[in-house]
Structure 1
Amino acid sequence: MQLYFSDYRALWRVGEVPGISGASLTDLVERYRLPAGTPVLLDDWMRPVEPVSSWFRSLALERADRKTMKAYALTSFMLLRFLTARGLDLRSATEWDILQFRQWRLEEATATVEEPTWDKDSAAISRLYAYLDRIGYVESRPWRTTSRGQSLGSRKSTDLRVRHMELEQYLYFRDVGFGGLAPDAALDESFRGWRPHRNRATCELALMTGMRIQEWSTLLLPELGLEAGGRPRTTNVDLKACAKRERPRSVYVPVDAMELLDPYLLLERPGIVARAQGTLRRRHRDLFVVDRLEADGRKVRGVLEGRTVIRVVKEMSPDLRRITVLETGDGLDPLAVFIGQGGKMLTFSGWDRVRWRAWAQMKKWAAHETAPQMPRACWLYHDLRHTFALRLLIFLTREALGDLEKQDLPMSTLLDHMTSNPLLVVQQRLGHAHPSTTYRYVRYLKDPMREVDDAFREWSAAGGASYLTIARRLMNLEEHSSASQG
């Protein structure tokens, strides 16, 4: 068996297929078009493996995102290979076989996984068998129903990992790691990073908006009001196709984030675009070439795969954004805000390389007297989102407490609570589907490590005193001892 993923643009790049006319090929593609990234499982004779391939098709038509489909496909592929090696298939597999697959994934595979990863696998298997049950391929799922429902998961709740930055850590992260400066703000002449203005701007934008990496890294110039050389002081971005689970929300971009974009847009980006013209022109056939912005930048009109189309910007997928360029008359200008070599929008792996280079730069200066404390593991871009959430929650909580003290009534009205509740505001800003996700941040409003330091400060002040001396002092044993000796 072999697992593939659909890419109809690859067929468009080929142009002509022997034995099929161009018109017939276009008709076939339009009639059987699947969303890009749809998994296709083929057997050794290159025939679709059913009913798994049909399930993949149903996922695509239900608008499952590419990342989810890929994860589900890989899990299904591993399960089928595991069952086939034992002379079984999806219909003949029993609960014992599925549990053996779980044990293999957790303990016996060449590369074992942790339980949170298995929980994702179990979700894929459950959804696969739900489809097989619905179409009548199996009579029921091969595992028993428990009091908690039909679940193969570990039933262990995973706590949200909230790692945030203090101000000193963030400035060190942004300016030293990504910006190539020394901790004392001097220029580090040994810095060999690439595009420091771009990288500092991404840090500021991620921190000040709380956007996820798949949101800020795929932004287009019109979404920030930067088309035609525009420079708004602040703006609002309507997210949808690039948001998690395509959940729409509006994101406010403040002054500081917009201002830090200027050095990149004025100094670095024009040079990247100029050097990329040759590459962009060679890829012209593969690109979505926009010739006009409409509805104040909310829509784009251009040529895609030989057809003139109009697309709503917030509905454009990351893959489409990646190939979108504007025909300026003087050349092709990528519409992506953050671009790299060749004028391409950076991928997640590309941003990871930037992050690891920044981490190496931060570690190089870690012993400097002005360097803040660094974590043991490399900072993540998502830590900026956590920092945004916590700082906003702390500010709104203090503001709400101050408003309560000023009121004559012992408690605020229901309307005040609904409109100014800090958790609800932060939930809306982060785009969380459930308040329980936002509520997990509450436990981090006070740093538990700092509380431990405060609680034991008097102990550490005892200097080189022994444990016995400390115990006597804290339990007033020294006074009793003196009295008994007297």
Structure 2
Amino acid sequence: MQLYAVDTAVVRRYLDSPVLTGDQAARLLELRGISDGTPIYLDAETMMPVEPLCSWGRNMSYADLAGSTLKDYGRIMARFSAHQDTRVSDVLSATESDLVAYKKQRTQLQKKPVGTSAWSKESSVLDQFFTFAVEQRYLRRRPMRVAARGRNALSPRTRRGMDIRHLSLGQYRYFRDVGLGGQCPDSQLSRSYRGSSPHRDRAGADLALCSGMRWQEWATVLLPELGLGVGQCAEEAEFTVQACAKYGKERGVFVPEQAMRAVETYCLLERKEFTAAAARRLERQHRELFVVSRVEEETGRIHGTLDGTAQVFSMQAMPPRLRRITVREGEFGLEAMAVFLCRGGLMPGADSWKRYRHAAWRRMVALADETTPQLPAKRWRWHDLRHTYALQLLTYLEQQMDGAEPDMVARRRRHRSYLSGHIRYNPLLIVSRRLGHSSPETTYAYLEYTDDLVQEYEAAFAGWVGDRGEEATYAQIAARAFRLEKSPLGVG
């Protein structure tokens, strides 16, 4: 069996058939509501659709999931089908013993077993498939028995809480300057550094740390969203994320001045070089790109041409895939409107940012000496910067509300009173809103870290971003969170 995924742009561009043109096929997919990323399973010999997997994939397409999510789900079912082939069976003939064997293979026996979170995702997809098969009468009943508390053979053995991994000030500066920036621990340039974009990677880290955005949110940000390239550069920025946010949940994002300065430095020193080198290549590809003709800064709308048709998009509603191909006429010709670019002139993908991060980790480990802050046991992740943002901001807001209260019990008692009487100014709820958590319960996980301060109070909010240690970046963020400039509490 072979697995494919629907891609409307590829169909429109490359399909050449006497029966159906690429445009007609793409139009048919749109009329049928088939989303990009929908998995298609074909028999390896006959190249005919494999049922009920193709019907299940179409059913998933109607669930309005992201294209990358649909592809992940498709790979999971293809993997389970391959496992069944080794047992001379198929997915509809799966028994509970087959599922137990598959779970054991994935979580224990394979060369690199998957963790609890990865298996939770796989078990959920398998559960959805068998539910679909019963509803559509491919099966009389599901192959798994339901045991106590709703658990079955697919359920993860353990349930973990959030894996919160935050950084101290020293760790972050080392990660950013040595790992990403190509410096030595003594701030001198490392002769072993082979990267080409230290300012880009440092700016990305600063933006993630100071905004609390997830990777897909900050890595896909557009120049107009930060107020760059539309006249005078703004000292700070505030915009709305939606299509790039988790579950498409809309929320506001604030970027403080120091993070803006880091991005502007990258734009001046590196980004122009990327755009100049890639201009001719983008000109040749202009039919495949969304070429912008006008940006409405006040409304956040972008006018341009996509697939030969005039289009208007709201920036917050633009998904990552569309953002990647959004270009405009610049100094050297066509240039991408994404803030962060790679050598090809377009937005780096997930694999590229992962490669930058892994290379940074190798440099940090190789250059570590007696002056290096203690490195974490596990390789750092971009998401650790979001956890650091949450913890630092929550700690700062708690300090503003509690003052220098040394009694932990008194602090927790006072913290609970905020929930009932001071919803607007409650630190936990403020951080929950800034992170875009669906429920404050998710943010509760950070509370156990706030009494174990990663730095002294004064040092925790100065010098994180930029090169001037007197900048109290998190104080600026907290002031914006409260919507008051002079005092977060509105008191003297």
Shorter-chain TM-score bucket reads 0.7 to 0.9
Q: Provide the rounded CA distance (Å) in 2 between the counterparts of 1:73 and 1:379.
A: 29
Report SS of the residue matched to 2:403: helix
Change over 3 Å in CA distance of 1:412–1:435 after alignment to 2: closer
Change over 3 Å in CA distance of 1:23–1:156 after alignment to 2: closer
Counting only pairs closer than 5 Å after superposition, residues 341-352 of structure 1 correspond to structure 2 as 341-352=343-354
Letter in 2 for 1:38: T
Write the deviation string for residues 285-318 of structure 1: whole angstroms up to 9, x where unpaired: 2111111113536111211112111112111111
Note if 1:214 corresponds to 2:219.
Answer: no
Letter in 2 for 1:286: E
Q: Is the 8 A contact 1:427 1:435 kept in 2?
A: yes
1:47 is matched with 48
Change over 3 Å in CA distance of 1:139–1:171 after alignment to 2: same
Report SS of the residue matched to 2:372: coil
Report SS of the residue matched to 2:294: strand
| 1:226 shift after superposition | 1.5
Q: Provide the rounded CA distance (Å) in 2 between the counterparts of 1:424 and 1:159.
A: 19
| 1:29 shift after superposition | 4.9
1:290 is matched with 292
Q: Provide the rounded CA distance (Å) in 1 between the counterparts of 2:127 and 2:221.
A: 35
| 1:338 shift after superposition | 0.2
Report SS of the residue matched to 1:260: helix
Write the deviation string for residues 426-465 of structure 1: whole angstroms up to 9, x where unpaired: 1111111122221111222244999xxxxxxxxxxxxxxx
Report SS of the residue matched to 1:40: strand
1:4 is matched with 4
Q: Provide the rounded CA distance (Å) in 2 between the counterparts of 1:265 and 1:109.
A: 45
| 1:343 shift after superposition | 0.7
| 1:150 shift after superposition | 5.3
Q: Provide the rounded CA distance (Å) in 2 between the counterparts of 1:413 and 1:106.
A: 43
Where do 5+ consecutive residues of structure 2 fail to align? 456-492
Counting only pairs closer than 5 Å after superposition, residues 363-374 of structure 1 correspond to structure 2 as 363-367=365-369, 369-374=370-375
2:468 is matched with none
Report SS of the residue matched to 2:150: coil
2:79 is matched with 78
Change over 3 Å in CA distance of 1:109–1:331 after alignment to 2: same
Q: Is the 8 A contact 1:222 1:297 kept in 2?
A: no
Q: Is the 8 A contact 2:177 2:202 kept in 1?
A: yes
Moved more, 413-422 or 435-444: 413-422
1:444 is matched with 449
1:421 is matched with 426
Normalised to the residue count of structure 1, the TM-score between the two structures is 0.84
Q: Provide the rounded CA distance (Å) in 2 between the counterparts of 1:211 and 1:220.
A: 14
Write the deviation string for residues 238-267 of structure 1: whole angstroms up to 9, x where unpaired: 111111121211111111111111111122
Q: Is the 8 A contact 1:143 1:150 kept in 2?
A: no
1:338 is matched with 340
Change over 3 Å in CA distance of 1:399–1:329 after alignment to 2: closer
Letter in 2 for 1:42: L
Q: Is the 8 A contact 1:303 1:309 kept in 2?
A: yes
Note if 1:113 corresponds to 2:118.
Answer: no
2:462 is matched with none
| 1:86 shift after superposition | 3.7
Q: Provide the rounded CA distance (Å) in 1 between the counterparts of 2:379 and 2:441.
A: 27
Write the deviation string for residues 456-482 of structure 1: whole angstroms up to 9, x where unpaired: xxxxxxxxxxxxxxxxxxxxxxxxxxx
Moved more, 358-367 or 344-353: 358-367
| 1:161 shift after superposition | 1.9
Q: Provide the rounded CA distance (Å) in 1 between the counterparts of 2:436 and 2:314.
A: 21
Counting only pairs closer than 5 Å after superposition, residues 59-74 of structure 1 correspond to structure 2 as 59-74=60-75
Q: Is the 8 A contact 2:418 2:426 kept in 1?
A: no
1:377 is matched with 378
Letter in 2 for 1:159: G
Q: Provide the rounded CA distance (Å) in 2 between the counterparts of 1:93 and 1:201.
A: 50
2:473 is matched with none
Report SS of the residue matched to 1:148: helix
2:387 is matched with 386
Q: Is the 8 A contact 1:41 1:52 kept in 2?
A: yes
Normalised to the residue count of structure 2, the TM-score between the two structures is 0.83
Counting only pairs closer than 5 Å after superposition, residues 250-261 of structure 1 correspond to structure 2 as 250-261=252-263
1:397 is matched with 398
Letter in 1 for 2:272: P
Moved more, 242-251 or 227-236: 227-236
Q: Is the 8 A contact 1:38 1:60 kept in 2?
A: yes
Q: Is the 8 A contact 1:225 1:297 kept in 2?
A: no
Report SS of the residue matched to 1:420: coil
Q: Is the 8 A contact 1:241 1:316 kept in 2?
A: yes
Q: Provide the rounded CA distance (Å) in 2 between the counterparts of 1:14 and 1:419.
A: 54
Q: How many residues align?
A: 447
Q: Is the 8 A contact 1:289 1:302 kept in 2?
A: yes
| 1:19 shift after superposition | 4.5
Write the deviation string for residues 125-170 of structure 1: whole angstroms up to 9, x where unpaired: 1111122222232233222223312542124111322221111221
Change over 3 Å in CA distance of 1:16–1:160 after alignment to 2: same
Moved more, 101-110 or 332-341: 101-110
Change over 3 Å in CA distance of 1:35–1:327 after alignment to 2: farther
Report SS of the residue matched to 2:94: coil
Q: Is the 8 A contact 1:8 1:33 kept in 2?
A: no
1:231 is matched with 233
Report SS of the residue matched to 2:55: helix
